[in-house]
């Protein structure tokens, strides 16, 4: 595979449209945060549709805040917050997919997290990160520091383990005959 | 029978006439959780018209219905709900497992999906397909009607077993 070849995406070829914009944005980001930016993977040097910015775990909230509020960036919309299990050290990557309504382009921010480590919560930047972080916690067991209500959101509260971890068995059914008990902390 | 064709009287067994009534007035409870639910709606609507077989009165309360149509994927979090709905239906109750997901988990052989509702509740008829065609559903309904008439469904058999064990004095289960 030729990694120099632009990758087709849902929006057609994004590189000719947004390539220059991305370059200036990444430079501004590097100038602003310096060592907090661990690594940048740009198309077409790396086979990706949008730039991937690896950020140090503790600096993620200022970086996200900058990407959201700065007039050059204006990535106002957190399109998705998810994670991946990389099966190496550090084990997880928390992924923030951002979208800009003004320039209609996207960018991807990632944080590397070891198993058991905590990522600062992004709720102060986007309220909607609340449930997304709960889902990441539910599926991967990645904890978020400062999250006000870090409970399981999809699986039964009696569930053992985190189903999207690579070491969780695909057919690890946990069948409960009676309904999920109400969380006592939610009662008045 | 009199000369003008009207039936003056007719002899039968109580069980038979009761089951005849049951089989021609099956009230379904639609438990449609995904795309199979759409096929179920098509079967109930005018083109296929399930009311031809006396099964048009769709009830959304388990206490008023005889037939639980489980149409669609049942994930593990939904399974206790399905069990509760089944338990709340009054005897005799029948269950139709509608489509591949309800019957076996279908293509979803993963951690979050119940591998067939028969691991949770007894099933009388299975309808294969993904989703099944309305003709298949009507066939299953007719098959179920035959079973009801003969008293072969799970819940009728359980009632009969209870009756034969001598714990119930009544000779028929009205």
For the stretch A100-130, pLDDT in tens is 999 989 999 999 999 989 999 999 999 999 9
Q: Using CB atoms, which residue from A155, A172, A179 is nearest to B80?
A: A179
User: CA B121, CA A18: separation in Å to the nearest integer?
Assistant: 56
- Look at B110 and A176 and tell me if their CB atoms are within 8 Å: no
Task: Enumerate the residues of chain B whose CB falls inside 8 A of the CB of residue A163.
Answer: 111-112
Which residue is it, tokens 């991807």? A108
> Does any domain span residue B7?
no
Whole-model pTM?
Answer: 0.79
Provide, rounded to the nearest whole percent, the portion of chain B with pLDDT above 70.
93
Q: What pLDDT score was predicted for residue A1?
A: 58
Across the interface, whether the CB atoms of A178 and B80 are under 8 A apart is answered yes
* pLDDT at residue A186 in the model: 77
Residue pLDDT, tens place only, B124-142:
999 999 889 999 999 999 9
Q: What are chain A's domains? A: 14-186 (3.30.460.80)
Residue B58 counted as domain residue: yes
- B16-75 pLDDT tens trace: 888 898 889 899 999 989 889 899 989 988 888 888 888 878 889 999 999 999 999 998
Residues B77, A170: C-beta atoms closer than 8 Å: no
Give pairs for B122-125: CB < 8 Å, separation 24+. B122/B95, B122/B154, B122/B155, B123/B95, B123/B96, B123/B97, B123/B154, B124/B94, B124/B95, B124/B96, B124/B153, B124/B154, B125/B94, B125/B95, B125/B96, B125/B97
Asked if the structure places residue B3 within a domain, the reply is no
Name the residue among B80, B111, B119 with its Cβ closest to that of A171: B111
Residue A17 has a pLDDT of: 86
> Predicted ipTM?
0.72
pLDDT score at B174: 45
pLDDT confidence tier of residue A65, bands split at 50, 70 and 90: very high
Nearest chain B CA: its distance from A135 CA (Å)? 15
By CA distance, what is B81's nearest residue in A? A179
Go through chain B and tell me how many residues it has. 174
Q: Which residues of chain B neighbour A169 with C-beta distances below 8 Å? A: 111
In order of A107, A168, B28, the CA distances from B110 in angstroms are: 32, 11, 30
Cβ–Cβ pairs < 8 A, chains A and B: 40
- Structural tokens at position A97: 């997919």
| Burial (CB count within 10 angstroms: exposed 0-12, middle 13-18, buried 19+), residue B40 | buried
Q: Does residue B18 fall inside a structural domain?
A: yes
Taking CA–CA distances from A168, the nearest residue in chain B reads: B111
Min Cα separation A178/chain B (Å): 5
Q: Are strands B94-98 and B125-127 parallel, antiparallel or unpaired?
A: parallel
Contact between A180 and B80 using a beta-carbon 8 Å cutoff: yes
Domain housing B116:
14-164
- Residue with more model confidence, A47 or A146: A146
Confirm whether B1 is domain-assigned.
Answer: no
B31 in a structural domain: yes
Identify whether B56 is part of a domain: yes
| Model pLDDT, residue A8 | 60
Given a cut of 60, whether residue A31 has pLDDT beyond it is yes
Which pLDDT does position B167 carry in this prediction? Answer: 63
Q: What is the CATH number of the domain that holds B154?
A: 3.40.50.12280
Task: Identify the residue with better confidence: A1 or B15.
Answer: B15
Q: With a cut of 80, say whether residue A6 has pLDDT above it.
A: no
CA distance A154 to chain B (A): 9
- Residue-averaged pLDDT of chain A: 88
B160: its two tokens:
């009969």
Query: Which of chain B's residues have a Cβ under 8 Å away from the Cβ of A170?
Result: 109-111
> In this complex, do B111 and A169 lie within 8 Å of one another by their Cβ atoms?
yes
Number of domains in chain B: 1
Q: Which of A168, A169, A173 sits opposite B76 (nearest CB)?
A: A173
B80 touches chain A (CB under 8 A): yes
Least confident residue range of A43-47, A60-64, A136-140: A43-47
Beta carbons of A30 and A55 less than 8 angstroms apart: no
Q: Tell me whether residues B83 and A177 touch, CB distance under 8 A.
A: yes
CB count in 10 Å sphere of residue A143? 16
Tokens found for residue A124: 């102060």
pLDDT band of residue A183 (cuts 50, 70, 90) is: confident
pLDDT at residue B172 greater than cutoff 60? no
Nearest Cα of chain A lies from the Cα of B113 at a distance, in angstroms, of 8
Selecting from A156, A168, A177 the residue whose C-beta is nearest the C-beta of B77 gives A156
| B170 inside domain | no
Rounded to an integer, the average pLDDT of A5-25 is: 75
Residue A168 phi, psi dihedral angles, 5° rounding: -80, 130
What SS3 class is residue A55? strand
Q: Which residue, chain included where needed, has tokens 């999906």?
A: B113
């Amino acid at each position: 595979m030729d990694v120099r070849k632009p990758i087709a995406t849902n929006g057609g070829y994004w590189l000719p449209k947004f390539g220059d914009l991305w370059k200036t944005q990444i430079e501004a980001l590097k100038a602003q945060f310096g060592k907090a930016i661990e690594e940048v993977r740009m198309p077409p040097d790396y086979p990706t549709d949008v730039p991937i910015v690896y950020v140090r775990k503790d600096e993620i909230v200022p970086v996200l805040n900058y990407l959201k509020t700065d007039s050059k960036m204006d990535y106002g919309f957190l399109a998705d917050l998810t994670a991946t299990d990389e099966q190496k050290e550090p084990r997880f990557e928390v992924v923030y997919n951002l979208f800009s309504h003004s320039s209609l382009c996207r960018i991807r921010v990632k944080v590397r997290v070891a198993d058991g480590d905590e990522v600062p919560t992004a709720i102060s930047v986007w309220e909607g990160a609340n449930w997304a972080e709960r889902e990441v916690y539910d599926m991967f067991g990645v904890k978020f520091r400062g999250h006000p209500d870090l409970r399981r959101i999809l699986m039964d509260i009696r569930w053992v383990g985190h189903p999207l971890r690579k070491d969780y068995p695909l057919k690890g059914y946990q069948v409960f005959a009676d309904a999920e008990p109400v969380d006592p902390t939610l009662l008045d | 029978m009199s000369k003008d064709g009207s039936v003056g009287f007719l002899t039968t067994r109580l069980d038979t006439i009761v089951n005849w009534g049951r089989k021609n007035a099956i009230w379904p409870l639609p438990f449609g959780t995904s795309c199979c639910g759409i096929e179920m709606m098509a079967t109930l609507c005018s083109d296929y018209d399930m009311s031809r077989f006396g099964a048009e009165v769709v009830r959304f309360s388990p206490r008023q219905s005889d037939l639980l149509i489980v149409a669609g994927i049942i994930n593990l979090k939904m399974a206790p709900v399905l069990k509760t709905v089944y338990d709340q239906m009054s005897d005799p109750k029948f269950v139709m497992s509608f489509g591949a997901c309800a019957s076996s988990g279908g293509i979803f052989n993963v951690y979050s999906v119940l591998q067939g509702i028969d691991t949770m509740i007894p099933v009388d008829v299975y309808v294969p397909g993904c989703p099944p065609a309305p003709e298949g559903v009507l066939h299953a309904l007719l098959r179920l009607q035959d079973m009801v008439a003969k008293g072969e469904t799970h819940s009728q058999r359980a009632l009969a077993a209870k009756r034969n064990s001598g714990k119930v004095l009544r000779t028929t289960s009205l």
